[in-house]
Amino acid sequence: MTLLNMDHVRHRFNGPEVVRGVSLALHAGEFLCLLGPSGCGKTTLLRLAAGLEQVQQGTISLANQIVGDANGCHVPPEKRRVGLMFQDFALFPHLTVRQNICFGVTKMTPECDQWIKQTTERMGIAELMGAYPHTLSGGQQQRVALVRALAPNPRALLLDEPFSGLDVTRRASVREETLALVQDTGIAAMMVTHDPEEAMFMSDRILVMHEGLIVQAGSPAETYFTPANAYVAGLFGPVNRLYHTVAQRKVETPLGVFAADGMADGDQAEILIRPEGILIEKNQSQTGCSVKVLNARLLGNASHLRLAAECGSAGVIEIQARVPGVFLPDRGHYVNIRVDTEKAFVFPT
Ligand code: ADP
Ligand code: MG
């Protein structure tokens, strides 16, 4: 069942369009992420779904009922039955934790009371019910905001960068708790994030946004392993980029030969290789090459290497590699590398 449907939605403030024709569907029980860099229109899309912005073009439906369209239909946020959670948590400072959590509950039933009791216990905030938001840590505020968003039993949950206000050490555990609670509740959720790892961790499906458009929709594995274009491929972190001409539907590079399906001879191709797609070989293989170590640094659970490949007339190209574990060869030494073709992508330039 489709809970939220956005159909050809466009939006502008005082300048050019910031949402340029977006269609998406959020299905029951699904966790969807809108992923893209700052300014690409994610928050605007979420605010449109929530009813905080009025629809200018296109149609928005919740559970098959139109809640916003260009003909003046606009169901206000409080009537949409969606739970909202923002980056700054937006707790009411003059209300206690209990009053915050109960704020959107129009009729307190024994079931709702029981749910709040159980959930606050589970989230470790039950003993804070009488406290005011400013006395809570960031992680505690985040949990209160989440429980508050869910307490009125909404049809869908909309989350805007809900973890970016937390420091890195707290973030991982709060993410896990949030995901577990959302999954146990069975509620459909749409979350906005600019963090690809967060999107991968949380979502069933990722919608990648670029300048007001959805450029790819797919599972975390699909967006990571089969990016639709160079932009999506580059979203998950720095990539090595090589430029070569296509010959016989292939590109031959100093790092190996790659298929260039659907491209014609003479086309310029851009080859993107993830740092984790550079594999260190014990011995020189037929498909690999020997490269010079410029620098090797330990990141913790992986090592980061800067390597130089000597490529005849093309000069020297620098390559970044991310190798699991501790691998710190001395500067100036040579290592043999090979490219994992699952982590290399060829696109027309
Ligand atoms: P994101 O959440 O992906 O960072 P936003 O949806 O917040 O992106 O913003 C998209 C674009 O719209 C940005 O260029 C931003 O400056 C602009 N924008 C957002 N809200 C407003 C507003 N209330 N008034 C004018 N411009 C806005
Ligand atoms: Mg935003």
How far, in Å, is the centroid of ligand 2 from the Cα of 192? 7
Q: What are phi and psi of 240, to 5 degrees?
A: -80, 135
Give per-residue pLDDT as tens, 99-140.
Answer: 999 999 989 999 999 999 999 999 999 999 999 999 999 899
One-letter amino acid of 58 = G
Name the E strands within 139-288. 156-160, 188-193, 205-210, 213-218, 240-245, 250-253, 256-259, 268-273, 278-281
Give the C-alpha distances (Å, rounded to integers) separating 213 from 9, 24, 50, 207.
10, 11, 19, 10
Q: How confident is the model at residue 315 (pLDDT cuts 50, 70, 90)?
A: confident
Give per-residue pLDDT as tens, 252-286.
Answer: 988 889 999 889 999 999 999 999 999 998 876 66
Listed by start position, the domains of the chain span 2-232, 238-348
In terms of Cα–Cα distance, which of 207, 205, 190, 121 is closest to 149? 190
Ligand nearest to the CA of 86: 2
40 lines ligand 1 (CB under 6 A): yes
Ligand nearest to the CA of 48: 1
Determine the number of helices (DSSP H) and then strands (DSSP E) in the chain.
Answer: 8, 20
pTM for the full predicted model: 0.91
Going by CATH, does the domain composed of 2-232 fall within 3.50.7.10? no
One-letter amino acid of 343 = K
In terms of Cα–Cα distance, which of 120, 149, 151 is closest to 136? 120
Q: Which two tokens stand for residue 247?
A: 């010959």
One-letter amino acid of 283 = N
One-letter amino acid of 328 = L
Which of the listed residues 44, 211, 214 should we mutate to test ligand 1's pocket, taking the one with most ligand atoms within 8 A of CB?
44
How far, in Å, is the centroid of ligand 1 from the Cα of 280? 43
Q: Which fold has domain 238-348?
A: OB fold (Dihydrolipoamide Acetyltransferase, E2P) (2.40.50)
44 lines ligand 1 (CB under 6 A): yes
Ligand nearest to the CA of 210: 1
199 lines ligand 1 (CB under 6 A): no
